[in-house]
Structure formats: structure tokens, C-alpha cells
Structure 1
């Protein structure tokens, strides 16, 4: 698909990502918002608004579709090898002169898409309200880039060669910016797909797997849901305030939305260097700085948390070595503070063996070991056997793949799926032989705290500003 590409640069100091998104989402349906929470770092200070999908790569129930605007160009059942090949061809179809590093496709990969990357079966056990495609990536007509570090805005139009530019219409909508806000409220109690005792029993079974040597660790999760009426964007707006994270996203696909605030990168590739940032080891914050500092010191010395982290760093090294050389651990077990928890974080890097093989690298490192366990393949089989339903989006990846070979994907955690006036959200804990089952239940609750709070805060839209 060939485009005429034009870019307009201007000051961005009068615009916020959420404000612009609110002004444009009703005019341009199926718009995506991808934000950074760190406006003071030159390397992590960009937000993107994507408008008017032109072409989409969709995998739904193992069926690959290529959609050009509203028409399906290709639709056929596919096995694992062909899904990767189709995605690679879809990306290469946009190769042309005038592209920059920030130009690319935006979307997500669900955890269930692992069946297209590995020789593993995922038993689909989901309700119709929770069903959604295993993968969507789209190229958009307009991409608005807000650089918060220097208060600039760049708008790029990818105009199909057989069409007239609609840049003037977009600029008019931006200048006549109105931000319609609609209320949100829950209409039911929050429920889970299992009660506490069922989760504890699942953990006991996983500990048995660890004891007999099937796995060193397996990450088990539970899902929650709540019914609502109104505008779920308010939940995202509340979450980004309560739980600011390196990755903030609100992806609207019409019949459903995926949004969240993820602290953890799935994979970054920049200039041929691939990076993984395993996060493992978790303590809950108290809200008191002195107490949190003590907890951070305890976390750094906790044998169980450190052993779990070391194992997942080794798994990250192994994943990267499949498609990279010179794999090394650049930082190891750094204590980092997040809004509700304290984590141990490391950084593992490698040089790509083939710079044009980014799709294979995505597959080789998916899903993150922090969402599956180790050894990864056996851990995923145990997850599929023990968890009562398919994970869907949870534990997958969301973000951006550049036409020029860069990748920036976050792990889909601390996130919601919104469909048919229901919010679904999920969290997990890494189970090892030494796990205390009640501590693992508490870890899940700790990770869900920000999501529960966002729902409560969103119910009072008067408390939210943009």
C-alpha cells in the first residue's frame, strides 16, 4: 500500500494527549491513544494518537484477515508459521521512500496468540462477552505525535496515492477542539472467575508441579469483571493518574477496547539492539516513605523473590539468544518504586543477528517469562490446564512496530478489556516450590489495587481532569 506522506510541525504546548483524543475520537472512530507517563525524560516523552485505520492485520479464531478500510482483502485459516509470514508481509507492504523511525503499525497481541509462535495448544474457554481477536495491528491515515520534552507536535498524514488529502479537515477539528465528557458508573458488584479458596487450591497444585520438577516457576492468574454504564474512558483517565507507568494506552476497536497502565516492557528494538526488562519480585507499598524504604531493603534481600528474579533474567537471556548475539545483563535487580508496589527490575540486551527479522524476535520473546514461568513451554501448558478459562488479552503485548525495524511493546498487565458494558481485568503471581499460598493470593490483590481504585474514582467524573 503506497502513500503520499506529509508532515506538519507545530508547538504542542496547548494540547494534552487526553484532551486531543477526547476532541477527535467521535469524529474518527476506532482511534488509538498511546502515552508516556515520564514527560521529563528525553528518551521517554512521547505520546501518539492514531486516527482513521487504513489497513489492518487481524487474527481471529486462527483466521487471518487483511482489511483495507472496511473491506476484507484476504481471509483464510492459517497455521502458526503462516501467521508470522502474513504479519511480516503486511509490514513490508508499507515499505517506501520518506518513512521515518516513528512510522509504523499499532496494535496488540493477546496471550492466546502464543499458539501461532510455539508448538502449543490453547484451549479456548471464554464467554462471548470476553471473546476478541488474538491479534490486531493497523496502519493509520493520521498519527499525531506529541513530544512532551520540547512541547512540540508533529502530525503525519499517510494519504493513499489515489485519494485527496484530508489534512485541512483534521486541522479544523483540532483548532475547534471540544472535549465532550460522559459519565461512568458501575451497575454490579465486582466478581471473579474463581473464589479465594479455588485460587489457593490452584496454587497448591502448581507447587506440586514445582516440587516434582515439571517447572521451576509457573505464573497463575485470576480474572475479575464488573458491569458498567457510560464511558469507560473515565476509567483510563483515573488509572493514568492513580498508577502512572511507562506505558499508558487506550485502544478503541469499536466493539471492544483495551486500555491500561503497564509498568513492564515486552520487547524494545532500537537500531538493531533488542532489550528485555524482566520485572519480578514484588512488595506492596505502604504510602509511608520511610516504611517503603525499609520494605525495599527487605525485598533486595528476600531469598524467594531474588531466586525468582534470577530465574526470569536467565529466561530473558535465553529468549533473546534465539535471535540475538552478544546477549548481556546490563542492570541487575534494581529496586524500583511504582504507585502501589515495589519491584526488582533488570535489563537484558542483545544485538540482532538479522535486523530485518523483527517479527521472529517478537515471536521468540513472547510471552514474557514474567507472565508464564520457566521452562516457558511447560509452564504455559500447566497454566492452560489449571486456569479455568483462556487469558485472552491478559499477558499479551501492546504497542508499536516500526516500518524501519524498531519495536516498542508493553506487556498487557494492569489493564482492562471493555466489551458489552463489562470490564475484565486480571493479575497473577509467580508460583515456586517455596511459595506461601496466602502470600501469592495477596500479591494478586496488591497488583489489582490500582485497577479497583480506578473503577471507584471513575464513578465520580467530577474528580477527574485532563
Structure 2
């Protein structure tokens, strides 16, 4: 057992991680561990990445039994059962993160505890009231739904270890109170270890459709929306717009096994499963919304698509064709400019730059044109400001973004909910990693 403690004469960091580690064993160990966690907690998550590099693909993170769930819907905040009205959910979230502020330690994984969950597409309405809509809300998604986790299970794929992390509070406590908190953290680590070793798995039905898949809009209605959108483009009202059409079907069982299949057939930079009060979500997203690490911001626009070739030669030919396609390049360049503008809202003057331009990013079934936009976050801004600056991504809305979002609300006349929003974490150190909520399946428990 490895213990790490900040001495009391050091700055008051609020929270600090401890860890215990032991070797991995068995296939699909993360998904099997999730079955154990689901047996003791209805609220849990798994975050992982198929990127084959030591920095971003190294860890799979799991969590269960959050300290609280924090939601906001139509201005009504619910923080662990305490309800109040607000026009600014980020203010309360910022307070929660400040109360749990922690330093970053290089010997610990990149995520050691924080807020995990989603910001919906409709969260934009808090920072941009002009896009608020009275559209139909059949799915009843929260505008934001985040769970506060102060213990983390991290699967280290490079070192073949499981790292267990519990956070303990450091403040002005007496030595006796500090020792009590220390012992609590040690006991929690032992309980986590024993749970993974001997806990019973929750065996759930594999999940299957019990009826037909139906779109929100039939072909005629969707084509009518497209024609109206094209009219706005011709009139110069917008340059591009991204319309959507939700597919729904009756479903029985859990999405965990669906996720296990998805992560196998469509490995992606962002793969996630989580279960909350009223929703279960599984997804494999290729695209970062916004990432903040040590005061450096990144966003990674993906736009321009071709299928993967059946041979290496066909794959290269499709790549050359994609990079010569004027329409795809124009769309991509517009979204790169939008990404620069979004980061520019919260970055230090002169720091926003395009680090990588027109690279080809290959995935299991498709290839995309990708670029990387970087900025250094301005003093006084934080991860929550970054979410508000970038959400929703231009690749899921259009340009100019605010006008495109207004038209989406008018044309679709349905709240999008989690689709096109952000999924990921904001940690106790102030860092953040979020992806765009696309290529997802969700199961609503109550709506």
C-alpha cells in the first residue's frame, strides 16, 4: 500500500489523493469491474480511449458511489437533493470545484477525482439566452448532469496495474482530526480493493430492441427542413448548418453489453459508459470538444469524411480524393476558423494558433480531415468558461454558430438533449477533458 500525505505546513490544497495498486488479470477486465460496481451503485462511469499513446490512451477510469449528483434543468439546480433557482449553473459548479481543489501530482494518473457527466447541447442557453427555445422536450434531459466522485479506479494499461485513489480533505483540522481523515481514506482504499477482488457482479440482460426503430422526422419532413436551411444559406443568413434526426426504439436490458461491443468494433479516442439517476449512456466519439491541461486549451475540429478503403491502396486513394474535395475543405476550414474564434474568447491575446492543419485521422470505418487549435487560457478563466466558449461544437451546429443554433431550434423544434453536448470530466486540479456527444446510444429511465 502506497500512502502520500501533504504536510500541514504546506499550502492548504483542500483535497489530496492516496493510491493503492495491484496487478491486472483477465480479459475485458474493465467491463467486468463495471459489473461489480453496478451491483453496489446505480451511479457509475467508465471513461477510456483507444488512442495508442502513453498520455491519452494509457488509462481507463472507473467510478462509483458519487458524493452527490448535481443537475440543472430549466434553471432549477438540484445539488444532492437541495434545490434552488439559478441563471448561472456554472457559478455553483465553480464553487464545488473550489471546495475540492487539489494539486496535480505527476506520479498519479491524469484524473484523480472530480465532476463526471455531461453538459447538454441546450446548456448553451445559459450563456447565450438568444438561443433558448420553448421547443418540445420529449427526452427530458437535464441541461447539465454531473456526478462528484472523490474516489477513482484507474486501469494503467502500460504498467499493467490497477491504481485506486481516495481523496482526503486537508484544512485547519487538529492532528487528531487529520489522523481520523487519514484512517478513513485508508479504509476506503481497502474497501475498494476488496470489492474488486471479491465483489459480486451484477448480471443484466444483454439488451435488445423490442420494436421498430423510428426517426424523429420522416423523410419528407427532414427534406423539408433541409430545403429551408439551404434557403437561409443562399440568403447569406448562415454559411452552414448541421441538422439532426434522432432514432428511437423500445429497448430492454442494459447498455453495458452494448458498450462492450461498441468499444470492440469502433475503437475511438473517447469511449464512455455511465449510468445516472434517469439515463444510461454508451458511446464512442472521435472528436474532442475542448481539453484544458495545465492552462493550455485544445480543440480538434473533424470535418470532411470518406469511408475506409478495403486495401491500403484504396485507402490512400480515398485520402487523396478527400483532400482535393473543395466542398469538404471549405467546410473544414470554416470550422477551424470557428474553433479559433471560440478559443479566442477565453485565451490570452496572441496565443491562439493552428498546431496541425488538414491531417487525415483514420478510424475503424471512416477517415476524417482533422486539425488542432491551441490557446493559453486567460487569467480569470477556467474549465467551465471553456465549456461555455466552445459548446456546442461547430461540427454539430454550424456557422455563424449562434444564428445556426437559433435556426436549429426553429427547424427541429425539439430539444437535442445530450446529443451534440459534451461528455467527460472536470477534475479537482482544474484540468478538463470533454468530447462531443456523438455516436452514442442512451436509455432513458424516466421521460
Q: Normalised by the shorter chain, which TM-score bucket?
A: 0.7 to 0.9
Is 1:84 aligned with 2:109? Answer: no
Question: How many angstroms apart in 2 are the aligned matches of 1:174 and 1:49?
Answer: 12
- Superposition deviation, residue 303 in structure 1: 0.2
Name which of structure 1's ranges 82-91 and 367-376 shifts more when overlaid on structure 2.
Answer: 82-91
Is 1:12 aligned with 2:24? Answer: yes
Which residue among 339, 351, 357 is the counterpart of 2:364? 339
- Alignment deviations for residues 360-381 of structure 1 (CA, whole Å, 9 cap, x no partner): 1221111111111111110000
Question: How many angstroms apart in 1 are the aligned matches of 2:102 and 2:313?
Answer: 55
1:95 is paired with a residue whose SS is: coil
Contact 2:233 2:239 in 1 (8 A): yes
- Superposition deviation, residue 184 in structure 1: 2.0
Question: How many angstroms apart in 1 are the aligned matches of 2:366 and 2:281?
Answer: 23
Task: Tell me which protein shows more strand as a share of its residues.
Answer: 1
Which residue among 216, 220, 226 is the counterpart of 1:193? 216
Question: How many angstroms apart in 2 are the aligned matches of 1:151 and 1:225?
Answer: 39
Question: How many angstroms apart in 1 are the aligned matches of 2:412 and 2:16?
Answer: 48
Question: How many angstroms apart in 1 are the aligned matches of 2:288 and 2:320?
Answer: 24
In the TM superposition, what are the counterparts of 1:300-379 in structure 2 within 5 Å?
A: 300-325=323-348, 326-354=351-379, 357-379=382-404
In the TM superposition, what are the counterparts of 1:421-432 in structure 2 within 5 Å?
A: none
- Residues 113 and 371 of structure 1: is their aligned pair in 2 closer, same or farther, counting only changes over 3 Å? same
2:314 is paired with a residue whose SS is: helix
- Superposition deviation, residue 27 in structure 1: 1.4
Which residue among 42, 47, 57 is the counterpart of 1:44? 57
- Superposition deviation, residue 315 in structure 1: 0.5
Contact 2:258 2:282 in 1 (8 A): no
Is 1:166 aligned with 2:188? Answer: yes
Contact 1:220 1:387 in 2 (8 A): yes
Contact 1:257 1:417 in 2 (8 A): yes
- Superposition deviation, residue 256 in structure 1: 1.2
Tell me what 1:235 maps to. 258
Q: What's the Cα RMSD here?
A: 2.4
- Superposition deviation, residue 124 in structure 1: 4.4
- Residues 148 and 124 of structure 1: is their aligned pair in 2 closer, same or farther, counting only changes over 3 Å? farther
- Unpaired stretches in structure 1, ≥5 consecutive residues: 423-466
Which residue among 123, 142, 146 is the counterpart of 2:155? 146
Contact 1:228 1:421 in 2 (8 A): no
Contact 2:301 2:335 in 1 (8 A): yes
Question: How many angstroms apart in 1 are the aligned matches of 2:17 and 2:306?
Answer: 48
Is 1:249 aligned with 2:255? Answer: no
Question: How many angstroms apart in 2 are the aligned matches of 1:345 and 1:328?
Answer: 15
Contact 2:16 2:102 in 1 (8 A): no
Name which of structure 1's ranges 154-163 and 306-315 shifts more when overlaid on structure 2.
Answer: 154-163
Is 1:109 aligned with 2:119? Answer: yes
Question: How many angstroms apart in 2 are the aligned matches of 1:356 and 1:217?
Answer: 30
- Residues 96 and 277 of structure 1: is their aligned pair in 2 closer, same or farther, counting only changes over 3 Å? closer
Which residue among 33, 58, 72 is the counterpart of 1:59? 72
Question: How many angstroms apart in 2 are the aligned matches of 1:178 and 1:248?
Answer: 25
Is 1:22 aligned with 2:30? Answer: no
Tell me what 1:121 maps to. 131
TM-score w.r.t. length of structure 2: 0.86
Name which of structure 1's ranges 380-389 and 113-122 shifts more when overlaid on structure 2.
Answer: 113-122
Question: How many angstroms apart in 1 are the aligned matches of 2:102 and 2:365?
Answer: 45
- Superposition deviation, residue 308 in structure 1: 0.5
Name which of structure 1's ranges 83-92 and 377-386 shifts more when overlaid on structure 2.
Answer: 83-92
Question: How many angstroms apart in 1 are the aligned matches of 2:220 and 2:317?
Answer: 31
- Superposition deviation, residue 204 in structure 1: 1.2
Tell me what 1:285 maps to. 308
- Alignment deviations for residues 95-148 of structure 1 (CA, whole Å, 9 cap, x no partner): 2578775232211100011101213233244455x2121112222242101121
2:236 is paired with a residue whose SS is: coil
Question: How many angstroms apart in 1 are the aligned matches of 2:389 and 2:396?
Answer: 15
- Residues 56 and 228 of structure 1: is their aligned pair in 2 closer, same or farther, counting only changes over 3 Å? closer
